[in-house]
């Protein structure tokens, strides 16, 4: 269920919802009034009860739909607000396609083990700056320096945490040295397949770019564009098994802009992802270079990238 659909359902029961969110408020005419989203006494915040689907906090200048009010009153992100709202309305997600998610038990990364290969250097900053990514963006994603091994050979690496709702789900190491021309990638075993980048998203964002690779995710952030990365690259089948574990976490997005690498496996992945997440809300971004990091390195401007996103195409039914 998309956020706009859930918000409409909440508005249809606004006489119940407003007192639930603002129990210390009171009804005045066709409005439920309170002092603010914390529920203090006053009349600065007004929720329309007569079908206009509007609320506003005139003291703070805030407003929006009913999910915005839910987030503000509860101090939670959009996904959490949607979960609470569904429970309030008695709506249950249809999970029959995701039996594996219920049955499979995953491990969490061993923090003591991770600490052994993290290094206290700034080599990660130097490398990512060479890829056009600022220290501020790196800090937002909590990437640090570390080591990875190729046989007996010790290599400098990026240590990349996958976190969602504050919980560490996976840690990946990607070598920044490539003596044989290939990067070395190590991930923790038996961890939940999940998207990278949740920790850097704003709480209420309702549109996102889905890209291929952690550096691409940070590159979109460098442009000021919210993004998540698939964990296993392009292709189909097992490469996109993360979908069954992230499907409902993506409910919060009205639009998903798919930006895979401009190659055959990237196009294959884009088609599968759109078909499984819903082609009605997915659009295909076509970039002038192989990926967004190449765009960043070649001086493509933020305005130009927004134009490519704005003109992204819908998927034609097969």
Full DSSP string of the chain: --HHHHHHHHHHTHHHHHHHH-TT-EEETTEEEESSTT--SSSSEEEE-SS---EEETTTTEEESHHHHHHHHHT--HHHHHHHHHHHHT-----TT-HHHHH---B---HHHHHHHB-SSSHHHHHHHHTT--HHHHHHHT-EEEEEEETTEEEEEEEEEEEETTEEEEEEEEES--TTSS--EEE-TTBPP--B-GGGS-TT--EEEEEESHHHHHHHHHTT--EEEESS-S-SGGGGTTHHHHTGGGGG-SEEEEE--SSHHHHHHHHHHHHHH-GGGEEE---SSSSHHHHHHTT--HHHHHHHHHTPEEPPP-
Q: How far apart are CA 285 and CA 8, in angstroms?
A: 29
Query: Rounded to whole angstroms, how far apart are CA atoms 291 and 102?
Result: 35
Same domain? 206 vs 178: no
Mean pLDDT over the full length of the chain: 92
Same domain, 165 and 253: no
Give a yes or no: residue 95 inside a domain. no
Decide if pLDDT at 142 tops 80.
Answer: yes
**Together in a domain, 138 and 77:** no
Query: Do 253 and 166 share a domain, yes or no?
Result: no
Among the three residues 165, 187, 209, which one is the final residue of a domain in this structure? Answer: 187
- Does any domain span residue 102? no
Answer with the residue of higher pLDDT: 162 or 248.
162
Q: Which residues contact 249 (CB under 8 A, 6 or more apart)?
A: 79, 164, 195, 198
Whether residue 274 sits in one domain with residue 172: no
Judge if 236 and 162 occupy the same domain: no
Residue 262 in domain: yes
Residues with Cβ within 8 Å of 272's Cβ and at least 6 positions away in sequence, in order, are 236, 237, 240
**203 plus 175 within the same structural domain:** no
In a domain, 193, yes or no: no
* In a shared domain, residues 210 and 290: yes
Residue 104, domain member (yes or no)? no
Structural domains in the chain (count): 3
Q: Which of 97-101, 113-117, 179-183, 230-234 has the lowest mean pLDDT?
A: 97-101
Query: Is the domain of 218 the same as that of 306?
Result: yes
The span from the CA of 14 to the CA of 36, in Å, is 17
* Phi, psi dihedrals of residue 147, rounded to the nearest 5°: -130, 150
Predicted confidence at residue 98, as pLDDT, reads 53
CATH at residue 298: 3.40.1360.10
Closest to 3 measured CA to CA, from 205, 229, 316, 253: 253
Mark which of 187, 209, 237 sits at the end of a domain: 187
Q: What is the pLDDT of residue 92?
A: 82
Contact, 154 vs 175, CB < 8 A? no
Domain boundary among 187, 212, 229: 187
pLDDT per position as a tens digit, 165-222: 999 999 999 999 988 888 999 999 999 999 999 999 998 999 999 999 999 999 999 9
Domain check: are 177 and 205 in the same one? no
Residue 101 inside a domain? The answer is no
Q: How far apart are CA 150 and CA 61, in angstroms?
A: 55
- Residue 96, in any domain of the structure: no
Q: Distance between CA atoms of 250 and 26, rounded to whole angstroms?
A: 35
Residue given tokens 């490398």 in the structure block = 127
Q: Is 106 inside any structural domain?
A: no
CATH of the domain at 78: 3.90.580.10
The structure's pTM equals: 0.85
* Domain encompassing residue 122: 111-187
Whether residue 179 is found in the same domain as residue 120: yes
**pLDDT tens readout for residues 269-294:** 999 999 999 898 999 999 999 999 99
pLDDT at 233: 82
Among residues 174, 129, 172, which one has the least CA distance to residue 293? 129
């Amino acid at each position: 269920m998309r956020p706009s659909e859930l918000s409409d359902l909440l508005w249809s029961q606004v006489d119940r919802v407003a007192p639930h969110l603002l129990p210390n408020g009171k009804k005045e005419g066709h409005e439920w009034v309170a002092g603010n989203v914390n529920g203090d006494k006053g009349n600065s915040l007004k929720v329309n009860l007569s079908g206009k689907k509007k609320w506003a906090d005139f003291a703070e200048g805030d407003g929006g739909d009913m999910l915005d009010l839910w987030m503000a009153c509860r101090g939670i992100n959009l996904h959490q607000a949607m979960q609470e709202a569904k429970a309030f309305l008695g709506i249950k997600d249809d999970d029959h396609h995701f039996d594996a998610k219920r049955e499979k038990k995953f491990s969490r990364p061993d923090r003591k083990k991770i600490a052994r290969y993290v290094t206290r250097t700034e080599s990660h900053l130097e490398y990512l700056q060479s890829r056009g990514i600022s220290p501020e963006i790196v800090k937002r994603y909590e990437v640090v320096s570390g080591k990875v091994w190729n046989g007996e050979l010790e290599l400098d690496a990026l240590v990349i945490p996958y976190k969602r709702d504050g919980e560490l789900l996976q840690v990946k190491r990607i070598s920044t040295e490539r003596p044989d021309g290939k990067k070395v990638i190590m991930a923790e075993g038996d961890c939940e397949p999940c998207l990278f980048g949740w920790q850097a998203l704003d709480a209420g964002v309702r549109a996102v770019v889905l890209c291929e690779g952690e550096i691409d995710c940070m590159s979109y952030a460098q442009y000021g564009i919210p993004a998540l990365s698939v964990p296993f690259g392009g292709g189909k089948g097992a490469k996109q098994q993360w979908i069954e574990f992230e499907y409902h976490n993506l409910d919060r997005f009205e639009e998903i802009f798919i930006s895979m690498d401009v190659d055959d496996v990237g196009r294959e992945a884009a088609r599968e992802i759109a078909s499984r997440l819903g082609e009605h809300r997915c659009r295909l971004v076509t970039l002038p270079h192989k990926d967004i990091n190449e765009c960043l390195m070649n001086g493509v401007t933020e305005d130009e990238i927004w134009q490519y996103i704005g003109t992204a195409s819908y998927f034609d039914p097969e």
